[in-house]
Amino acid sequence: SSQFVPSTPRRLLASFVHRIPTAAAPSLTMSGKSQELIQQLLHAEKEAEALIATAKKNRLNKLKQAKDKAEEDLKAFREEQEKKFQKEMGAKAAADPSAELKGATEEEIRKVKLDYETNKKRTVEYVVSKVLDVTTDLTDTQKQALKFGRV
């Protein structure tokens, strides 16, 4: 039941005043008429209070429903993110880091062996040439040292 609910009790009371009859029956006395009007006002006030209480209750219910829906959506989002995280972590855990390291190490070993084979012959020739290239001449300083018997 979607009824218009005035924002203040005074306005609400005013909205119920229109129900009060404007012309009293001629047989009623003034005090009886006043009493009847007072009773109608009290009745309208009670209706207004009940209407306000219902509106407050409905508002609280809507807020509770919105909160429950938000919590439900948040729970679903968290579960989705947790599944996504677990999936990514599972993939990383399943990957073998030692296999990747082993492959890189084998590649480096292959390169070193290739470099060794490429340069082995030249290196041996260089070392042999330096060993066999011995000068038999004496320097001037060595000759003077021999003359003075210092060696």
pLDDT at 80: 97
Find the Cα–Cα–Cα–Cα dihedral 119, 125, 128, 129, rounded to 10°: -130
pLDDT at 21: 53
Averaged over successive runs of 10 residues, the pLDDT of the chain (151 residues) comes to: 55 57 52 90 96 97 97 97 92 75 91 94 92 86 87 64
**Cα end-to-end span (Å), the chain:** 126
pLDDT at 101: 85
pLDDT at 24: 45
Which residue in the block uniquely carries the two structure tokens 């390291």?
101
Tell me the C-alpha to C-alpha distance, in Å, between residue 110 and each of 105, 114, 115, 121: 9, 6, 9, 18
pLDDT at 25: 45
Tell me the C-alpha to C-alpha distance, in Å, between residue 39 and each of 21, 23, 29, 33, 134: 12, 16, 15, 10, 137
